[in-house]
Chains A and B, each alone.
Chain A
Amino acid sequence: MALSTLSGKRIAGKAVSGARPPRRVRRQLPTSPWLFAAPGLLITGVFILYPFVSTVINSFTDRRTLIPGQFVGLANFRELLHDDMFWIGLRNSTLYVLGVVPALVILPLLLALLVQKNIPGITFFRSAFYTPVVASIVVVGLIWVWLLDERGLINSLLEAVGIGRVGFLSDQWLLLLSAMAVTVWKGLGYYMIIYLAALANVPRELHEAASVDGAGAVRRFLTVTVPAVRSTMVLVGALSSVAAFKVFSEVYLMAGPSGGPAGEDTTLVMLVQRTGTGLTGRVGYASALSLVVFVVTVALMLLVLRADRREET
């Protein structure tokens, strides 16, 4: 299993001797490890995994919100293959990962470096950069729709510069791009925090040594910072790709509930929501869709971790 790599056993070149827990720790209090993990496992089991089991069961039935289902075998999955909307959703969710993840791995790191130094007023800047994260996505959506409108602020600026108005909210591809921009904008502060915590771990001796060697800022970034926070970059990559694949709110709010012009901006989770919720929801079919989302995110996670392990060796 590559799971342990998610952790980042290596800190900044400083070899951690105890990459394996020492054996003798175990002899003491044999039940305590489970005692430590029990609350977390119990909550997760009862409220996440158990309901998910019912999703798995439902995916083989034709259950609707208020009507108990009959077992239908693989009918839902067969229907998926012939559902145009499913393929549109899969395409959009995949594009979302490709568009958003690189930006969310790199930009927050740069931002974290920018706010890391204790210069006057930095507390204010750090808090300010975090505001998009804490604001509710509904508000964020409203604000951006207003900004990107045909007559909104951004279009007024573009016209003033001579570029002319751009139909951010009417073209299917621009809509998807706009939603991605909002996701990145809202995620910057979130991942910045994770990076800040990791950067605080980088021993200052490394930077000092590099400075003495006469390394410039860019080289220091590439030779000291990046290796030091590499495991965090992997973590951010994994987290953001899973989140990006499951994107819902941004696209829903900007492209509308029906998913943009002719539904061309529908993402997979939007499709789950659309088909499965409400009093006429097709719970069975939506469960099958959920299951596909789940399998793809597991695969994504493994892919990121695999890439990580290969680099490491």
Chain B
Amino acid sequence: MSLAEKTPPVREAPVAREPRVTDEHGRRVRVWELVLRYVLLLAVLALTVGPFVWQLSTSLKGPTEDIFSSPPKFLPSHPTLHNYKRVADTIPVWDYAFNSLKVAAANVVTNCVGSALAGYALARLRYRGRRIATLVFILAMLVPVEGIIIAQFTTMRELGLNNTLIGVVLPGCIGAMNVLLMRNAFLNLPYEIEEAAYVDGANVWQRFLRIALPSVKGTLAVVAIFAFMGAWDDFLWPLIVLSDPSKFTLTIGLNYLHGTFANDERLVAAGTVIAVAPLIALFACLQRYFFRGVGEGAVKG
């Protein structure tokens, strides 16, 4: 994807001596508004990440520190990375993470491709049964998963795909909600653009690939994040499908840290951080794209 070229439209080049703060439209932001924004941002920040800072702090506490003292201590007095090493010693955390990565990556690819195709068909193409097809996806989104998991497993076993990573990916590989999100995105694009391409003689695949798809990069990034997250966090389904511990994903693997005989809160906390960190990193990388992506491409171009 040629996303790198999509730099924000900087109109006022930063030639001035003092660095200028501009909004997404390149206009200057007033100082008091800026202060207000930061105050609000910090308030929300405390609320959203506070609990995780606590978890991070627990994971850094040394073996001699009392983690259940009251009042609780927020900062570790002897910070150590020892707990992370212990996680790696207790379980093959890299193998599990690699399996999770495979599953999550496959899930991202299938969801992006499958939902974009289906979403385009639902939004842009005209044929009989389009409404029924839409209905199928809406109903699928409403099916309560809790009730069908064993039936899904027996299906998977009859396909001979139990105890494989493919079996883990397959049921969620084209999520109904992602299809509907893509459909929404395609519907939001003005028709004129595709009309023009149609007049130029582009066929449906060309229009899809060259015109429609680049215009919904933002939503595509959202689908990618949701797909990655869904696969990365899922516990019950991979547990049921997989039997072979060498194929276990990270969420299952980290569950081993909850001991049968004794729980070590520091280990569990370190495991949590290991599980969450890649997701936050991924989000931090991708968020620029969906924020800039939509609306920039086709609407302007």
Contacts and interface: CB of A to CB of B under 8 A. Distances in A.
* Pairing of A with B: yes
Contact of A118 (B8, B51, B133, B171): B8
Given A118-B8, A197-B218, A16 B49 contact: no
Given A41-B133, A298-B142, A51 B155 contact: yes
Q: How large is the interface on B (under 10, 10 to 19, 20 to 34, 35 or more residues)?
A: 35 or more
A9 B186 CA distance: 10
A131 B191 contact: no
A120 B23 CA distance: 10
Contacts of B218: 197, 200
Contacts of A25: 124-126, 198, 204
Nearest to B292: A200
B179 A40 contact: yes
B8 A49 contact: no
A201 interface: yes
Contacts of B51: 140, 143-144, 147
A130 B152 CA distance: 31
A9 B135 CA distance: 18
Interface string A143-160: 110010001010010000
A308 to B, nearest CB: 13
A125 B45 contact: yes
B49 A194 contact: no
Given A33-B121, A200-B292, A286-B147, A185 B136 contact: no
A48 interface: yes
B184 A8 contact: yes
A170 interface: no
Contacts of A33: 121, 125-127, 130
Given A123-B284, A248-B146, A114 B191 contact: no
B283 A134 contact: yes
A209 to B, nearest CB: 13
Nearest to A114: B40
Nearest to A57: B151
A40 B144 contact: no
A124 B21 CA distance: 16
B131 A1 contact: yes
Contact of B170 (A9, A23, A43, A231): A43
Interface residues on A, range: 35 or more
A57 to B, nearest CB: 10
Contact of B24 (A114, A116, A156): A116
Interface stretch (B76-84, B89-97, B272-280): B272-280
A54 B146 contact: no
Contacts of B276: 131, 134-136, 139
Contact of A294 (B118, B143, B155): B143
B192 interface: yes
B211 interface: no
A140 B52 CA distance: 9
Interface in A76-107: none
A23 B125 CA distance: 9
B34 interface: yes
A23 B126 contact: yes
Interface stretch (A171-179, A218-226, A268-276): A268-276
A200 B295 contact: yes
A123 B291 CA distance: 10
Given A21-B124, A40-B114, A117-B29, A143 B55 contact: yes
Contact of A139 (B55, B130, B150): B55
B294 A114 contact: no
Contacts of B288: 123
Given A25-B126, A117-B29, A294 B142 contact: yes
B124 A51 contact: no
A138 B258 CA distance: 12
Interface in B161-204: 170-171, 173-174, 176-177, 179-181, 183-185, 187-188, 190-192, 195, 198, 203-204
B101 interface: no
- List 8 tightest A-B contacts by C-beta distance, closest first: A18-B191, A40-B118, A290-B147, A36-B121, A51-B151, A134-B279, A51-B148, A47-B171
24 contacts: A17-B191, A21-B125, A21-B126, A28-B204, A33-B126, A37-B118, A43-B114, A43-B171, A45-B136, A48-B148, A48-B171, A54-B148, A54-B151, A55-B147, A114-B41, A117-B24, A117-B29, A119-B21, A139-B55, A139-B276, A194-B222, A200-B290, A286-B147, A294-B144
Given A6-B138, A24-B198, A111-B44, 16 more contacts: A7-B183, A39-B113, A40-B114, A48-B171, A119-B23, A124-B284, A129-B48, A131-B276, A135-B52, A137-B233, A139-B55, A197-B185, A197-B290, A248-B146, A277-B146, A294-B142
Interface of A: 1, 3, 6-9, 11, 14, 16-18, 21-26, 28-30, 32-34, 36-37, 39-41, 43-52, 54-55, 65, 111, 114-120, 123-140, 143-144, 147, 151, 153, 156, 185, 188-189, 193-194, 196-198, 200-204, 207-208, 231, 235, 239, 242, 246, 248, 269, 272-273, 276-277, 283, 286-287, 289-290, 293-294, 297-298, 301
